[in-house]
Amino acid sequence: MLSTLGCASGDPVTGAPAPLLDVEDLSISVRRGVPLVEGVSFSIGAGEAVAVVGESGCGKSLTSLAIMGLLPGNLQRNATGRILLEGEDLSAKSPREMQDVRGNRVAMIFQDPLTSLNPVMTIGAQIMEVLEAHRDIDRAAATARTIELLDLVRIPDPQERMHAYPHQLSGGMRQRVVIAMAMACEPQLIIADEPTTALDVTIQAQILNLLVELRRKSNLSLMLITHDLGVVCRVAERMIVMYAGSVVEAGEVSAILDGARHPYTAGLMAARPHGSFKRTGQRLVDIPGTVPPPTSRPKGCLFEPRCPRAQEKCRAVRPDLAADGAGHAFRCHFPIGQGEAHA
């Protein structure tokens, strides 16, 4: 079920590749009884691309910040579970030790390239800073590497452009700089938090292509946070669907997109506007209701209040994440395609 792309390490007994990142039972809460993320577990293999999908506020960004050790202090204190990078528990590391992980072994690409670069530093200086923080290299080597990185992300004329300030570049160019910054120390994992949301459509395609290509070239793992299912199919092999702070469905992208088992995933897919321009007047399909706020999560299934298939059991008991044997897991008492009554 894990990636088949060149994995160096593996379990000597079973032969299964050891995951690069293993998130085990991660929970984050504001205070007791106000959970933002509940019992999230997943793993990402070396060289694998995993998409995390869900609507705003479902906890996908918090999960990624937890991996980076960048949760705000009050949430950090109330975070439980384990985050293993190559078997090392990141949640047990000191802030100083996490500095060596961030930007070096795990890097992050943020949503809005217009605000994620420092406006008063040249882009070259911002890239070099990563190198100088993690590598023992001199100024000349850092400059050379920076030019190489700008070239890698297809910024024309890198020698000149490295002296440019962020405001002198377009949104797409800035996101390339952010990607170059993330790639600087050749991390094993890049977490991309909605890397194309703030860009216009043609630029989105270019940035996605760049990510796909860089991943192939450097055999890095990618955790792609998005709410765009189109992006998921283009980039990822596996996907995780999150709802109200929990994982509701996880598996191969093709398996899920071909046959979603959880009604929420099915709802998300139905909600995609895939009509042509001619079909004006046709209402977009949506999922009725809203996500329950963290302060009043239902006792039973989190999706029950909005679910067309909900029954008595759903109100009473919260379902566990169960796998179907082919690595496709879902958190539902009455999954779609099980011979139950269809909605």
Partner 1 sequence: MTAGSVRIGGGSRFFNGAVLRFVARRLLQALIVMLMVMTANFVLIKLAPGDIVDVLTGSSDMTAEQIASLRQEYGLDQPVIVQFVKYFARLAQFDLGYSNQFHDTVLNIILGRLPTTLLLVAFSVILSIVIGTVMGVAAARSAGKLVDSAISALVLLFYATPVFIVAIVMILCFSVWLGWLPTSGLYSVGAGHTGFAYIKDVAAHLVMPVVALCTFYTAIYSRLARATMLETMHLDFVRTARAKGLSERRVIYGHALRNALLPIVTMAGLQVSSLIGGAVLIETVFGLPGMGRTAFDAIFTRDTNLLLGVMFIASLAVVVVSLVVDFLYALLDPRVELK
For partner 1, the binding residues (CB under 8 A) are 68, 70, 95, 98-104, 107-108, 110, 112, 115-122, 124-125, 128-130, 132-134, 163, 165, 167, 178, 181
Can you list the positions of beta strands (E) in 18-78?
A: 21-29, 35-44, 49-53
Residue 95 or 281 having the CB closest to partner 1: 95
| Residue among 181 and 307 whose Cβ is closer to partner 1 | 181
Q: Are 42 and 59 in contact (CB under 8 A)?
A: no
Smallest gap from residue 336 Cβ to partner 1 (A): 38
Residue 31 has, within 13 A of its CA and on its CB side, a CA count of 1
Asked whether the beta carbons of 175 and 211 are under 8 A apart, the reply is no
Minimum gap (Å) between residue 94 Cβ and partner 1:
12
Residue 96 CB neighbours (<10 A):
7
Q: What does the alpha-carbon distance between residue 289 and residue 303 come to, in Å, rounded to a whole number?
A: 10
Q: For partner 1, which is the closer residue by CB, 55 or 129? A: 129
Q: Give least dist CB 179 to partner 1, A.
A: 12
Q: Give least dist CB 134 to partner 1, A.
A: 6
Phi/psi at 193 (5° precision)? -95, 100
Q: Which is nearer to partner 1, 83 or 229 (CB)?
A: 83
Residue with Cβ nearer partner 1 (1 or 133): 133
Backbone angles phi, psi at 241, to 5 degrees: -105, 125
Question: Are 169 and 114 a contacting pair, CB within 8 Å?
Answer: no
Shortest reach from residue 123's CB to partner 1, in Å: 11
- As measured in angstroms, the least distance from the Cβ of 118 to partner 1 is 4
Closer residue to partner 1, CB minimum distance, 165 or 324: 165
Instruction: Write b or e for each residue in 262-285: b if 16 or more Cβ atoms lie within 10 A of its Cβ, otherwise e.
Output: bbbbbbbeeeeeeeeeeeeeeeee
**106 exposed, middle or buried (CB, 10 Å; 0-12, 13-18, 19+)?**
buried
